Structure 1
Amino acid sequence: MIAFENSGYMFFILFLIPAWFIFYINLKKIKKAYSSLENTKKIIKKAKIRTLFFSAAWIFMILGLACPLWGSKPVSVRRRGVSVMFVSDISKSMSLQDIKPSRIAVQRQFLKVLLEKMHTTSHEPAVGLVLTKGEGVLSVPLSFEKNAVSSAIDALSPLILSASGTNLEAGVLRALDSFGENRGNSKIIVLCTDGGETSGSLLNAAEKIKKTDAVLIIAGFGTLEDIKIRVLDEKGNTQFREARLEEEFLQKAANIAGGESMYIPALSSGAIESILKIIDTGVEGLEKMVYIQEPVKRNFEMLLLSFIFLCLGGISFYGKNK
């Protein structure tokens, strides 16, 4: 997934539209003025090529200023604080609208607000994102680049993964593995879910978390009303499954994880503040070297391509007409 550090610059690419319109008007004038010359077609062709080169140079210059981010590289940094992995349940039941506009839409807003508030503190945590549906998929590795995580949150949807069913265990364990052996002082997993499962067991994941120094925070989305949805089980058979918020189950999982782990309804008053309080506790630890996967900035490559196309346009401009 490609993100941009300064996405506002992308607007300036639209300046090419009036530039191309002016070029089209001038091209018609050139055709009319030089219609009697034998090399008119060569002049027109050279003008089009020059405009194409300069347009490409402009586009890549804007992309360079916007600073695209893709790929990742390991970076060692000395940090004080916590590492937070968001685990997003994007299964079919999260599209239900028992909370408006839908569970997945409320989850997106919840994570965006939490992310923003986390990065207003003096100790910015490293944040990553795991998607869980039929399996656990690492969407964004732990990073101090907030924009990459924010863009991934904006795209959360049950349509992202083709797998069917829900496996919360796979998502939580994928997040736990993502911390790595050298991860810093405090490891926190924030699981956003309604508690429904078709495979795996969140309770098993909670047992494994209990044996580590990680904290499991479960934010519940949905209501306690009886709702049924049609799902496929592990064998591909159609079943009707309860889709109400499984509060008792999620509370049990948090209790098994132990320590500071907790369950909290996402729509309850002070839910985000309670999570932030646990995250802030992690900054009290000693500073140490941690290793993260940092998105690679590709602005140099974009600016280099812009310079190359600018040079090509210049060569075309100053070329001799025979």
Structure 2
Amino acid sequence: MTITETVEMRGFGSRDLDRVVDLFDVVWPTAEGHRERTHWAFGANPVGTVPLVGAFDTETGAMVGVRGGIRWPLAGGVPGDALTAIQLHGTCVHPEYRRMRLFTRMCEEFVRQARDSGFDVIFNVSVAASRAGYERLGWRYLPGFRAYHRIERLGSVVRRLARRGSPGAQAGSRVPESSRPAFGEVREFIDRRDSLLGELAHTAYPEDFFGWRFSHSTHRIAGSADVGYCAYRVRTVGGLRDVLFGDLWPAPRRAAALIAAVVDAERADTSTIWMSGTHPLRGTLLRHGFIPDLRRSLHFGVKTLSGRAEALVAPSRWGCVSADIDTF
């Protein structure tokens, strides 16, 4: 019997999350925060659960692969009732079990269970190495979802470029919860954002999901009734302090002022936002100095599970920003 024949696909639940963390530690040994993010993604979502599929070695009992996802509330995209959506999260295979079609088998089982559970669509941003595998399974990748950057402190950037070395992105420190505005303060600005996006597919924010979505230790919510509010996090990229904006909920004609207020408060060297080309705030960003990364789009893929969701294979149907992606 081959090793492949001893590996079976089956569902798992919250009792297995520590095993998932252990596997993530093996697959990504230099990354941090696996426990917090895994229990956040798979164990606490207030809007519901999705199928979680693991690959298990029947001889040793070891979990050797994970195919997970997050139930993600979408607004827009299609007329009528909202689509039920899953965003993929946390796919991996143990290094000793690769090249055995486990990725394909886990995804096939995940899609089957998701369809049987009544979901309409799966979406995700994947790494380049896994894109071909998803495409073979019916994923369609949409262009135009890319990063936009702006230099905030030219002197800092010039000094950094003059040095050697380019450390990767690192998360910033946590802001005390008491500094966050209450959801009631932000709600009217989120409602205005929803009206601005109209029929474009984007994340819906009922209060419980809003609290969960931005509960990670690096997430910050800031703003005021004058300029509006935004979600963001601070990271270090190449030795520079970068504000990565997750979502913008500005007051009318105040998006630029909202961004400037956060950049000034955080003393950022640069700022970044990921955004789809059809987002209505894209023009505002371009007019105020944000430059799109034209070298590449993010690998944004869609797998439709129902006929109603077929409209979402058109890039023009999405109004995405950074916080619409699980890894923000």
Greater helix content: 1
Q: Which structure: larger Rg?
A: 1
Greater strand content: 2
User: Would you say same fold, with TM above 0.5?
Assistant: no
> Which TM-score applies when normalising by structure 2?
0.28
Q: Which has the higher contact order (CA 8 A, sep 6+)?
A: 1
> Which TM-score applies when normalising by structure 1?
0.28
